[in-house]
Amino acid sequence: LADMKNVSPTYLKHQFLIAMPHMADPNFAQTLTYIVEHTANGAMGLVVNRPQELNLADILEQLRPEIDPPASCQHVPIYIGGPVQTDRGFVLHPTGPKYQAT
């Protein structure tokens, strides 16, 4: 136990968690979760395999009804990110240009 002082913690940031086949919690059963942040203070992940009937055009119309969204947005799916903070949205995008909030 004394040797554990020198062991650095292993965090799961930028990893995927696959739900075990017999996961009983319906919030996480059959999910693939991307771990966005994981520190000694806690963790945050996004479920990335639960698509909704909404698409990006539907969301943009709700945010800015006076502007017609591009037709290509109708083909961009929206996913439930998980059971926590469902009033927030996150955009997962490939690496490349850094934006202010990425």
Closest CA to 92 of 14, 2, 5: 14
pTM, full prediction: 0.75
- Give me the number of domains the chain comprises: 1
What is the secondary structure of 13-81 as a DSSP string? TT-EEE--TT---TTTTT-EEEEEEEETTEEEEEE-S-EEEEEHHHHHHHH-TTSPPPGGGGGSEEE--
Residue 102 clears pLDDT 70, i.e. is over it: no
Residue 60 in any domain: the answer is yes
Is 54 in contact with 78 (CB distance < 8 Å)?
yes
- At 10, which CATH number? 3.40.1740.10
Residue 98 in any domain: the answer is no
Residue 33 in any domain: the answer is yes
pLDDT tens by residue, 36-92: 999 999 999 999 999 999 999 999 999 999 999 999 999 999 999 998 888 888 888
